[in-house]
A and B are shown apart, each in its own frame.
Chain A
């Protein structure tokens, strides 16, 4: 079974500062990794995903994440955040099997202030 740990429940940051949201996973097999974002009063939408290939993955809105197999991590980064990035961010994992489902972390609330 897989599990996901998001180490920070809340990350406050000032506008235009860099940010990193941390995600660690546990799995005995290879994994697919995802970051989803939930803006206030909305459903989740995909930010980026790692399935295979390059370990540095670029997503929408200037976000990127790096898959580190030895550290079992998939941290999300943005070099300069905007007020509009205020949202909850979820890391998720699943096995490559076509019949597996996503396991989500508990989420990290990113609070961007002016």
Chain B
């Protein structure tokens, strides 16, 4: 498989547990945030997003929390399953750069390992 996770922090959980993955973002002007899931040998896959005017957003088994005060984002996965094992990373959108088009800045990610 790909070695993109070679130097990543790792979160190990048991199947059925809830998982929390954290991300510190860099720019206080960022107005939009995305969580991606990257399985071995595959490209990043969109999971959930949140705008800066919100502090919580829920999807199917996933919740994203945004704390703009400390520039922190978290992804909560309920009832984690072995199929959730992957690298998860956040991205922030910095408005106003690059001739007005949005610019995404990606985090380095966390590896989630789910044991049956």
A, B co-complexed: no
Residues in B lying within 8 Å of A, measured CB to CB: none
Residues in A lying within 8 Å of B, measured CB to CB: none
